Amino acid sequence: MRILLSLIETLSVFVVLFYFYTRSRFFRPQKSEWLGRRGKLSLFVFCSALTMVGNYLGIWLEGGVVANTRAVGSMIAGIAGGPFLGVAVGVTASIHRLSFGGFTAVSGSMGTIFDGLLGGLVHLRRRNRPESLFDWRVAFAVTAFGEICHMGFVLLVSRPFSASVEAVKIIGPPMILTNSIGAALFMLVLRERERVVDQVAASSSAKALKVAQRTLRLLGNGLGNVALELAAIVRAETGVGAVAITDSETILAFDGLGADHHVPGNAIASSLTRQSIGGREVVFADGVHDHYHCSIVPDCPLDSVLIVPLVVDNAVVGTVQLFEPETRRFRNLNKSLGEGIAALLSSQLLMARYQEQKNLLTVSELKLLHAQVNPHFLFNALNTINAIIRSDPERARELLVHLSHFFRKNLKRSGELSTLAEELEHVGAYLEIEKARFQDRLTVETEVDPSLLGIRMPTFTLQPLIENALKHGLSTKLSHGTARIRARREDQQAVIEIEDDAGAYVERRGSGLGMRIVDKRLKAVLGESCGVDVTCVPDELTRVTVRMPAEGVLQ
């Protein structure tokens, strides 16, 4: 009975050690992630120490028999770290035990190593089900079994046999009981710790979700318009000293301590912010090792800061900054929360951008649809052909073929690709009709490098540009006009120019969208280096230049 109580006393020391271990930074509670090298090392050190403490606090009996709680250490190492770690701790503990001497030293060492191995086997068996591995009942049962075997080793190995029987009678029941309880207690402490971590995680995710909910509605309007409201929400939810939101150049909003001199609209002065934007990285000055130094006012109360860049489409569009004054510690919770909120804002901004692009796409699709039908052109063409039927039925027939050719191409899907030859054919059909309409008022000159005829580009790249040149350029001229279409190679690029000699671009209205759509589609398919440019010399010429790689869109 005395032995039992003493061993339970030892256990209370263990529980204290468990507690500190599970709170230390060496300990990782996530069961789903098995221990890495560092975790295993720390577990080895901890469990080995545990076994040694067990040795020292053991109860010495006659003949060098020690009633102890050494088994807890190797068992925990085995269950949590696997057979290798369990045996390693067992061996360490055994060497330590052997140095004490006594006739149960060898059998006891064998028992401890066996416990480690046993725990390791259980680990292997239940590895896929961590829930059932870290169960106090399992730990209790396995340890009890291990200690019974331990007693078996004593009877088998230790001589004289009679003394062994005597020793087992005295130390057996208390050791089996206390070691099992010890292992079970560790699991319970572990569980408790996990629960706390879960709770903290739950409360911070709840906060993050709340911020998400409150900001979602705002960000559709873009960062600049809602930064003030956003900063206030983030500060209210995190409770930090101050919150700032910047774009890549200026402070958009500041809420909290130091608002008197951190004024929205000012350019970013902090080197930490520039570091965050430039390096696209989270910058954290914790107020202990690194400090935030306000560059505006020397006695600014803010001392620690977390700066998280807002990254949209691989570019930094701004930052979210959380500050704490000198008098308060920057809580880790707020650090992870700040990073989470920034990630959230980034994705919401991306979403808003996506939405905007989708809207533009809808507008451009509608515009395209209208262009496909092109009523003004259609009826004028019909009227022209109608007139020509009187004088020259053969010519009228030709024009009808051109017209149907044009509309057939027009009804192609906008997502498809066409070769330059096909695009020129489409444009050619259009120009044939327009030449018939305007007669001697319109001349078209084409000059195309034949080696470029095969390159592919999005369908409807040239037609809208030609149509603009006629509709907004040449048709406003009272006198004769000339349209020029050129395609040539220039520094690995295919350069296509559409030029009219009206020079009326500045007065063009509504031509912007058509050109913007062509530009966007080229950039989307071929990258940012491609696209459409306009140069205009008033009353002289308007030149629209399309640039793309000389090989066009590859299939």
Binding site for another protein (CB under 8 A): 375-376, 379-380, 382-384, 386-388, 390-391, 436-439, 441, 475-479
Nearer to another protein, 34 or 438 (CB): 438
- The minimum distance between CB 474 and another protein, in angstroms, equals 9
For residue 79, what are the CA distances in angstroms to 178, 289, 370, 489? 18, 38, 71, 71
Nearer to another protein, 380 or 482 (CB): 380
Q: b/e string for 137-151 if b means 16 or more Cβ within 10 A?
A: ebbbebbbebbebbb
Which run of H or of E encompasses 253?
strand 251-256
Residue 457 main-chain phi, psi, to 5 deg: -150, 165
Nearer to another protein, 40 or 437 (CB): 437
- The minimum distance between CB 441 and another protein, in angstroms, equals 8
- The minimum distance between CB 548 and another protein, in angstroms, equals 33
Q: Under a CB-based contact definition with an 8 Å cutoff, are residues 138 and 121 in contact?
A: no
Express the helix, strand and coil content of the chain in percent, nearest 5 each.
60, 15, 20
- The minimum distance between CB 382 and another protein, in angstroms, equals 5
DSSP 373-385: H-HHHHHHHHHHH
DSSP 387-453: HHHHH-HHHHHHHHHHHHHHHHHHTS-TT-EEEHHHHHHHHHHHHHHHHHHHGGGEEEEEEE-GGGT
- Give the residue among 252, 248, 244 at the shortest CA–CA distance from 315: 248
- The minimum distance between CB 434 and another protein, in angstroms, equals 10
- Give the residue among 533, 548, 451, 422 at the shortest CA–CA distance from 494: 548
Taking the alpha carbons at both ends of the chain, their separation in whole angstroms is: 86
**Which segments of 36-159 are extended strands (E)?**
59-60, 66-67
Nearer to another protein, 359 or 386 (CB): 386
Nearer to another protein, 95 or 366 (CB): 366
- The minimum distance between CB 472 and another protein, in angstroms, equals 11
Q: Under a CB-based contact definition with an 8 Å cutoff, are residues 200 and 333 in contact?
A: yes
Nearer to another protein, 135 or 501 (CB): 501
Nearer to another protein, 10 or 468 (CB): 468
- The minimum distance between CB 468 and another protein, in angstroms, equals 15
Nearer to another protein, 412 or 441 (CB): 441
The token pair that represents 96 in the structure block: 């330590």
- The minimum distance between CB 501 and another protein, in angstroms, equals 13
- The minimum distance between CB 478 and another protein, in angstroms, equals 5
Nearer to another protein, 207 or 402 (CB): 402
- The minimum distance between CB 539 and another protein, in angstroms, equals 11
**Which segments of 85-211 are extended strands (E)?**
none
Nearer to another protein, 207 or 437 (CB): 437
Q: Under a CB-based contact definition with an 8 Å cutoff, are residues 56 and 9 in contact?
A: no
